[in-house]
Structure 1
Amino acid sequence: MTLLDLTARPTTDHPLSTLPVAIVGAGPIGLAAAANLVERGIDFVVLEAGGGIADSVRAWGHTRLFSPWKHLVDPASRRLLEAEGWVLPDPERAPSGRDLVDAYLAPLSRLEPIASRIRTGAEVLAVSREGMDRTRTTDRSTTPFLVRLRTAAGVEELTARAVIDASGTYRTPNSLGSNGLGLLGLDEVADRVQPALPDVLGRDRATFAGRHTTVVGAGHSAANTLLGLVQLARDVPGTRVTWLIRNAQAVRVSSSADDELADRAKLGGRVDAAVRRGDIQLVDGFEILRARRADDGVELVGQRGGGLAVHPTDLVVNATGFRPNLDLLREIRLELDEIVEAPKRLAPLIDPNVHSCGTVEPHGFAELTHPEHGFFIVGMKSYGRAPTFLLATGYEQVRSVTAWISGDLAAATNVQLVLPATGVCSTDLGGASSCCSSSSGC
Structure 2
Amino acid sequence: MDTERIIIIGGGPVGIEAALYGRFLGYDVTVLEKGTVGEQVQSWGHVKMFSPFGMNSSRLGRSALLAQSPDLELPDEDELIDGERWLREYIIPLATSDLLSNSIRTESAVKSVGRTWLSKGHLPSDERDACEFRVLAETPEGEEVFNAEYVIDASGVLGQPRHLGAGGVPAIGESAADVFCGVPNSQKCEQMSNARILVVGNGHSAATTINHLQSLNQRSPETQISWVVRQNTKAPIKVIDDDPLSHRHEIATSANAAVRDGNVDLHPHCTVDKISGTGPYIVTLLQWDDDDDSSLEIEVDFIIKNTGYRPDMSILTETQVHLCYATDGPIKLAAQLLGNTSEDCTQIDAGGADTLLNPEPDLFVLGSKSFGRNSNFLFHTGLNQIRDAFTIIGQRDDLDLYETIEPT
Say whether the fold is shared (TM-score over 0.5): yes
Query: 1:352, 1:277 → 2: CA distance?
Result: 36
Aligned to 2:146: 158
CA contact (8 A) 2:113 2:316 kept: yes
Q: Residue type matched to 1:297 in 2?
A: Y
Q: How does 1:17-416 map to 2 (within 5 A)?
A: 18=3, 20-50=5-35, 52-84=36-68, 85=70, 86-137=72-123, 139-189=127-177, 191=178, 193-199=179-185, 201-202=186-187, 204-249=188-233, 253-293=237-277, 296-305=280-289, 306-351=293-338, 354-355=341-342, 356-361=344-349, 363-411=351-399
For the residue of structure 2 that corresponds to 1:35, the secondary structure is helix
Per-residue deviation, 1:294 = 5.9
Bigger mean CA offset, 176-185 vs 349-358 = 349-358
Per-residue deviation, 1:296 = 3.2
CA contact (8 A) 2:273 2:283 kept: no
Query: 1:212, 1:393 → 2: CA distance?
Result: 38
Q: Deviations over 1:16-51 (max 9, x none)?
A: x6452111111111111011111101011111112x
Query: 2:236, 2:335 → 1: CA distance?
Result: 20
Per-residue deviation, 1:261 = 0.3
Aligned to 1:422: none
Identify if the C-alpha distance between structure 1 residues 304 and 312 changes in structure 2 by more than 3 Å, giving closer, same or farther: farther
Q: Deviations over 1:43-62 (max 9, x none)?
A: 11111112x21111111000
Query: 1:278, 1:377 → 2: CA distance?
Result: 44
Identify if the C-alpha distance between structure 1 residues 288 and 22 changes in structure 2 by more than 3 Å, giving closer, same or farther: same
Query: 1:57, 1:93 → 2: CA distance?
Result: 18
CA contact (8 A) 2:58 2:402 kept: no
Bigger mean CA offset, 162-171 vs 145-154 = 145-154
CA contact (8 A) 2:340 2:349 kept: no
CA contact (8 A) 1:34 1:46 kept: yes
Bigger mean CA offset, 107-116 vs 148-157 = 148-157
Q: Residue type matched to 2:349 in 1?
A: E
Unaligned runs of at least 5 residues, structure 1: 1-12, 417-442
Bigger mean CA offset, 22-31 vs 398-407 = 398-407
Kindly report the root-mean-square deviation, in angstroms, between the aligned alpha carbons of the 2 structures.
Answer: 2.3
Unaligned runs of at least 5 residues, structure 2: 404-408
Query: 1:270, 1:158 → 2: CA distance?
Result: 49
Q: Residue type matched to 2:20 in 1?
A: A
Q: Residue type matched to 2:184 in 1?
A: P
Q: Deviations over 1:349-376 (max 9, x none)?
A: 3238613312222533321110111100
Q: Residue type matched to 1:178 in 2?
A: A
Q: Deviations over 1:73-101 (max 9, x none)?
A: 12222221221224442222111011111
Q: Residue type matched to 2:40 in 1?
A: S
CA contact (8 A) 1:223 1:267 kept: yes
Per-residue deviation, 1:298 = 4.2
Identify if the C-alpha distance between structure 1 residues 301 and 266 changes in structure 2 by more than 3 Å, giving closer, same or farther: closer
CA contact (8 A) 1:350 1:388 kept: no
Query: 1:182, 1:152 → 2: CA distance?
Result: 34
Query: 1:119, 1:219 → 2: CA distance?
Result: 34
Query: 2:306, 2:181 → 1: CA distance?
Result: 7
Identify if the C-alpha distance between structure 1 residues 157 and 179 changes in structure 2 by more than 3 Å, giving closer, same or farther: same
Q: Deviations over 1:253-278 (max 9, x none)?
A: 23334110000001111112211222
CA contact (8 A) 1:369 1:376 kept: yes
Identify if the C-alpha distance between structure 1 residues 250 and 366 changes in structure 2 by more than 3 Å, giving closer, same or farther: farther
Query: 2:22, 2:110 → 1: CA distance?
Result: 20
Query: 1:335, 1:403 → 2: CA distance?
Result: 21
Identify if the C-alpha distance between structure 1 residues 298 and 108 changes in structure 2 by more than 3 Å, giving closer, same or farther: farther
CA contact (8 A) 1:21 1:163 kept: yes
Query: 2:304, 2:354 → 1: CA distance?
Result: 38
Query: 1:277, 1:216 → 2: CA distance?
Result: 19
Per-residue deviation, 1:214 = 0.6
Identify if the C-alpha distance between structure 1 residues 207 and 352 changes in structure 2 by more than 3 Å, giving closer, same or farther: farther
For the residue of structure 2 that corresponds to 1:400, the secondary structure is helix
Aligned to 1:430: none
Query: 1:369, 1:49 → 2: CA distance?
Result: 25
Identify if the C-alpha distance between structure 1 residues 415 and 252 changes in structure 2 by more than 3 Å, giving closer, same or farther: farther
Query: 2:28, 2:243 → 1: CA distance?
Result: 40
Count of aligned pairs between the two proteins: 395
CA contact (8 A) 1:30 1:167 kept: yes
Identify if the C-alpha distance between structure 1 residues 415 and 42 changes in structure 2 by more than 3 Å, giving closer, same or farther: closer
